[in-house]
Copies of this chain bind each other. A is one copy, B any other.
């Protein structure tokens, strides 16, 4: 099955292991074995390698050219594509952030008042 680039990117992101690998790579380049380490209790090395291949095919990561040490790194390009795609939904997610802000106003401590432990606003 041939996937369009965006479907491939979203498909690659639709897995918690792959997202954890990406999160690890925000700290810098890493070898396959380093990336695999945290997962080896729950899955095999070939399973991790397969996840890396999905990320690589989607363009989210790439491997260095050094024959000795081919570290994985994040590619910004597909993230940029997702950000660009999300732009058309801005009004929807901004509305959602506004509602969050409104909610947070009701649960956070008003300035100059005493400490408040509950989540609900108390009557003054």
Kindly list chain B residues whose C-beta atoms are within 8 Å of the C-beta of A8. Answer: 14
Indicate if A38 sits at the interface (CB-CB under 8 A): no
Copies in the complex: 2
From DSSP, what is the main secondary structure of chain A's interface residues? helix
Partner of A100, one of B79, B80, B82: B80
Which of B10, B22, B97 is the one whose CB lies under 8 Å from A80? B97
Measured CB to CB, the closest approach of chain B to A36, in angstroms, equals 20
Q: How far is the CA of A28 from the CA of B94 in the complex (A)?
A: 16
A contacts, CB < 8 Å to B: 3-4, 6-11, 13-16, 19, 22-23, 26, 74-77, 79-80, 82-83, 85-86, 88-89, 92-97, 100
